[in-house]
Amino acid sequence: MKIALLTDTHFGARGDNSALDKYFAKFYNEVFFPYIDKHEIKQIIHLGDIFDRRKYINFQTLESCKKYFFDEIGKRDLKLDIIVGNHDIFYKNTNDVNSPNLLLQSYKNIETISEPQIRRYGSCDILMLPWIVYNNYEKSMDLVRNGKASVCFGHLQLAGFVMHKGHSAEDGYDPNEFKKFDLCCSGHYHHKSNQGNIHYLGSTYEMTWSDYEDPRGYHIFDTETRTIDYKQNPFNIFHKVYYDDQNKIFEELVNQYFEYLENCYVKVIVKNKNNPYWFDKFIDRLEKVNPINIQVVDDHLNLDLESEDDIVNEAESTLTILNNYIETLEVKADKQQIRSTIKNLYDEALSL
């Protein structure tokens, strides 16, 4: 049996950004559902954070994602099981009140999994672990340690994994608790990574500039072989182009192919700008393809800045600056706890 795995779709991301919503729809219309149809897949499992906001939803966002995702699942008579993630729950100590259960009741082929349980798919017993909170912790850990499932799917916060490029999780559950499984797949961290049998699948598509050149996509799980096959999302919404008029001719600069940047966020990295008129014409040419937004970043020191962190900050990362400041504080409180709180606030801010 083949099962399509999605996670961290975050419908309504970035304050119900309509450009992102169209980008999401393009992925489902042109990539995901065509693959589902071609390979006759009948089961989808979502590993959490299907919606972005914990406490409410924009009605336009709900109508839109119903059209390009949930209704398409219904048309195909697919089965969708949704493991509840931390962005799906209203309270922080219980999963009982959650957005998938409340918003998707009309879909008879969609089921919300808000409590830890073992389910059988094909010939494979899978431990389904929604977001671990106070009132389900004991049952969750009992099933992790004593359950008979050989595979675990969940929305987990495990220590030591990369959350997004440049930032690893210092806090979380011990990954060693999950070593007994043949395969453990999780949502929550948007960066795709693995350590041994534990795989963070990564979010389905780009949502912020920190996702730039960080692969996104979905997976196909084979219940017979207990393996996952990664399918990369071919669409990107964040792009960088470089402007350098050193030893160039005018036509070479303004006649570049920019059509792929339509409906995208673009950063123009300026390495050499000797002719302001040429630069204005370069920007005019770029604007004609209708990008969502253009930002200009001057690499005025010619440092060959390549990464997003390099361009934004040539010195230290935001967290490094904050941690260094915490070290200078003369307080009786546990500084490690302060650092952890600040890091959680920082990560939450990045997701907004």
- pLDDT tens digit string along 13-51? 999 999 999 999 999 999 999 999 999 999 999 999 999
The whole-number pLDDT of residue 120 equals: 97
- pLDDT tens digit string along 230-280? 999 999 999 999 999 999 999 999 999 999 999 999 999 999 999 999 999
Q: Where do the domains of the chain lie?
A: 2-232, 238-312, 318-351
The whole-number pLDDT of residue 172 equals: 93
- 3-state SS, one letter per residue, for 75-123: HCCCEEEEECCHHHECCCCCCCCEHHHHHCCCCCCEEEECCCEEEEECC
The stretch 131-160 carries a mean pLDDT of: 96
Contact partners, residue 283, CB within 8 Å, separation at least 6: 268, 294, 296
Length of the chain measured in residues: 352
- pLDDT tens digit string along 73-122? 999 999 999 999 999 999 999 999 999 999 999 999 999 999 999 999 99
The stretch 299-313 carries a mean pLDDT of: 49
Q: Where are the alpha helices (DSSP H) in 127-229?
A: 137-146
306/92: higher pLDDT: 92
Q: Supply the pTM of this predicted model.
A: 0.84
Distance CA 95, CA 99 (A): 10
For domain 2-232, which CATH number applies: 3.30.70.100, 3.60.21.10, 1.10.10.60, 3.30.1490.20?
A: 3.60.21.10
Task: Show the tokens assigned to 63.
Answer: 């109508």
Helix, strand or coil, per DSSP, at residue 57: coil
